[in-house]
Structures are given as C-alpha cells and as structure tokens.
Amino acid sequence: MKIHSKLYIGGEWVDPLNPSIFEVVNPLTETVCATVAGGGEDDVARAVAAAREAFKEFSQSSVEDRRAMLERIAAGIKARADEFSEAISMEMGAPTWWSSRAQVPAGIAHYSTAAKVLESFEFQKIQGTTAIRREPIGVCGLITPWNWPLNQVACKVAPALATGCTIVLKPAEQTSLDSLLLAEVIHEAGVPPGVFNLVNGPGRVVGASIAEHPDVDMVSFTGSTMAGANVSKAAADTIKRVSLELGGKSANIVLPSADLKDAVGRAVQGIMSNVGQTCTAGTRLLVPSDKVAEATRIAVEVAESIPLATSWDAPAPAIGPIATKRQHAEIVRLISEGVKEGAKLETGGADRPDGVRSGYFIAPTIFSNVSNDMTIAREEIFGPVLSIIAYDTVDNAIEIANDSPYGLSGYVQGEHQEAVEVARKMRTGQVFVNAAHADFNAPFGGYKQSGNGREWGEIGFDEFLEYKSVLGSEIKN
C-alpha cells in the first residue's frame, strides 16, 4: 500500500498544518490501495499565499518560457505514462487498456494543445490609439472530479499556466494519486515555486476554503450541478469569477436516415467505454418509433457482448467497475427507480453481475419503454445505463433532446447535412455528428444547468484572462 504524507506548496513537499488522512480504495478489489494526507483551511491559506507571491513574477513571464514549460510537462507525463496509467487504474478501477489508451493521452493532449495555442495567441491588440490587453486573472483555485482525473486537471492547469496564472489545485480525494504524480512532473519541469500548489482533501473543507478565500481570483470547478451551485455561493461574497463544468443528460438522436446497426452500436459502445462515468455520455438514445424494437435488439446484443474487466489486464473493450462504492449505490437506486416507474429493463440491472466476486460492478444496462419525464431520463446516472426513447418526427426528437435541465453535449447520426441541421437546433454546448471525435481545440462547456464558461483550446484561455484597455497608449508625442 502506498502512503503519501505531504502536500505540495511553494515548490516543496510539506507536512499539512491541518493534517488528516484519507484512504484511496481500489474499486476493483474493494480494498485500500493508498493513504493520502489531506489539508485544511490553514493549508489552503498557505498555498494561496505562495501562489499570490509567485504571481508577481510569473504573470510577467514570457510566452516562450511558458510554452516551453507546457511542452516539458507534456513530455514528463509521457515519459511516466505507465505510472500514470497504473495510478488511474488503482484509484478508479479503469482497466489498463482504457487508462493507457484514453485517460493518459487525454491529459497529455491539453498541455500540448495549450503550448500550440501560445504560438499565435494575441495577448494584446491595437484598436486605434488604444491597446486592448488580455492579462492573467491571478490566483486560480481549481477543483476537479474523479471520472477523468488526469484529463480534468489538465484542461484547467494547462490554460492557467499558459496565461500566466498561478494555481491551487484540489483534485477529487477518490482519485488523488495521479495528481500527486503530476506535482512531481511539474516540479521536475522547472515550474517556479508557488506557481502550482496541490492541497488534497475533501471538498467540504479544502474546496470550500478555496472558493471562499479572498485572495483567490477565480475558481474553476468540474463536478455535479449541486456541488457547482455550492461553489458559486461560497465564492459570491468575494465577487470572484467562477467557471463551472457540471452535469449532463445528453441525447443521441438516431435519424430515420441513419444506418441503425452502426448508429445504435456506436451509441452503446460510446457510453460504456468509461463505464458511463462521462458527463458527455449520450445516455438518452432517441429512435424513430417504428425502429424502436430493432434498435433495442441491437443495443442489447452490443451491451451483452461487452465483457467486465475483473482484472486490470483485461483486453478491450472490457469495462471496469464503478469508481466508488457511493456512486455504485446511486446507480443501483436509479436503476431500481427506472423499473418502478415502468421502464422495461432489457439487460443488465442493479444486481451484482454473475461470476463477479469483488468490485463495484454494474453490467451494461439497457432500458426501453422510457418516456422523457421518467427519473432515468431526467437525472444524470453516471453509470453504464442507456435509456431508449421513441420519437415520431425529427422535430419531436429535437424537442425531446432539448427538454432537459442540462445542455452539455449531444449526438446526431444520419445523413450528414440533415444531421448538421439538427445539431444546430440542439440547445447544448457541443454536438457530435455521426462518428466525429473529440477536438481539443474546440471549446467545451454547457448550456443551462450544465454550467457556464468554456474549457479547451484557445477559447478556454478566456476564463483565465482579464481585459484591460490602455487608452492613448499608441499616441506618438
């Protein structure tokens, strides 16, 4: 078992001032795989002070130096990719094939993308006799979730560093091991002391302290909508900027023109790949009424072909367990609620899968006969659960897709031009047309209760920048 007893503050590994110890549980074995030191209010204050002091010089650093720094961080993660993959597998139960092929590369990509953006990013432009400058906002509190741990940290840390901000990071306590490794990489990459600080601990203590602290200039939070609302309330008294990436209940519209087998198969594989623990998962599959029976048959066939990864070295496309015992219990509750409300459970379900002796496993689960007002169609389940919903016309499908408190992502499959037209009518922050892949240069974020602000790529820099107008700066005497 690994023991981590330090916090990373001011460029050093230090003992917590408000010490606590929390356990990291391997969801595959249901046993403790590591203990990690947590901090408290005084540790946050120390980290914020270090970040505030470091900001004086780092905010004036050259673009070239910051770009080189990001490239060194990306190279450092890549050089230790096996260690990061192992850590992610241990802390969230992802099989090695998934942690090494998806989780780790996604994290690296954000640092590489930020470095590339810096090659042409304009921090100042001239408008008549006025210089319009974009300057780093200051000390940034970054609070991240457990489902894509390295990725979610990277899409905040990378733009913060790129723009000249300093950082206090609080990762999810369930998945803190990869962030501890990241702190080592950042230290080895020569990031100046105080620019990056890591304070582990529970959200109700460390996260709240970050959000409330008057010397934190902005907070970037990813997590549940309820927790995001609490962060906003905690930050309100100091009028700091708050960027939120929250929940989702994304619709996947299968148009009448789509190849049903390909479209449904892609939909099922897509939500099962991270065991449904992805905020953009297309968990509402909208299918023409006359094709529901065939779509259900295909979905069940694909779902039942996906094996469970009862060992880390299980080959693709095996899926691992749910990351935490608490989340497993919530998925079980919602599956039971779906049955109670009259949805038809076609495969999977709340019971422990056959042959599984340990691990927080939920088998790939398909519901049919789902109406959009059911709990399983309204609430984010965050597990391998797909709800099939019938629609009568394409306009009806768009109406159902938009009838959600969320608006983070969406999917449309069918004839290309028609799919693009439907995508334009969906009230959501991004839409995947047919077999499109993620674009690390495209802005990521949501409408409605899925949050505010945007991450990823050039537009993601804006969350970490303030505008300053220097009037008359271009007048020649």
- Nearest Cα to Cα of residue 244 among 266, 263, 217, 226: 226
Helix (H) or strand (E) run with residue 203 in it:
none
pLDDT digits (tens, 9 = 90+) for 143-173: 999 999 999 999 999 999 999 999 999 999 9
Q: Alpha helix locations (H) across 200-358?
A: 208-212, 225-236, 260-272, 292-305, 325-340
Helix (H) or strand (E) run with residue 421 in it:
helix 416-424
**Number of C-beta neighbours around residue 94 at 10 A:** 30
User: How do 251-254 and 284-288 pair as beta strands?
Assistant: parallel
Read off the pLDDT band of 383 (50, 70, 90). very high
End-to-end CA distance of the chain: 69
Q: How many residues does the chain have?
A: 477
Residue 475 has a pLDDT of 75
Residue 39 predicted with pLDDT over 90: yes
> Rounded to whole angstroms, how far apart are CA atoms 286 and 394?
10
- Nearest Cα to Cα of residue 466 among 40, 139, 148: 139
Residue 393 predicted with pLDDT over 60: yes
pLDDT digits (tens, 9 = 90+) for 341-352: 999 999 999 999
CATH number of 2-246+450-470: 3.40.605.10
> Rounded to whole angstroms, how far apart are CA atoms 34 and 327?
20
Domain 251-440 falls in which CATH fold?
Aldehyde Dehydrogenase; Chain A, domain 2 (3.40.309)
Residue 477 has a pLDDT of 54
Domain boundaries, the chain: 2-246+450-470, 251-440
Residue 198 predicted with pLDDT over 90: yes
C-alpha distances out from residue 403 to 68, 150, 378, Å: 45, 32, 9
Residue 474 has a pLDDT of 82
Residue 281 has a pLDDT of 97
Read off the pLDDT band of 1 (50, 70, 90). confident
> Rounded to whole angstroms, how far apart are CA atoms 187 and 194?
10
Residue 338 predicted with pLDDT over 60: yes
DSSP 41-79: HHHHHHHHHHHHHHHHHHTT--HHHHHHHHHHHHHHHHH
Task: Considering the candidates 91, 245, 455, 463, report the single residue annotated as catalytic.
Answer: 245
C-beta separation of 186 from 161 below 8 A: no
Residue 476 has a pLDDT of 64
pLDDT digits (tens, 9 = 90+) for 267-307: 999 999 999 999 999 999 999 999 999 999 999 999 999 99
Model confidence, pTM: 0.96
C-alpha distances out from residue 259 to 29, 301, 304, 425, 432, Å: 40, 16, 21, 22, 16
Read off the pLDDT band of 369 (50, 70, 90). very high
- Nearest Cα to Cα of residue 402 among 386, 423, 382, 420: 423
Helix (H) or strand (E) run with residue 223 in it:
none
| 245 in active site | yes
> Considering the chain, what percentage of its residues have pLDDT values greater than 90?
98
Rounded to the nearest 5°, which phi and psi values hold at 4?
Answer: -120, 115
Read off the pLDDT band of 373 (50, 70, 90). very high
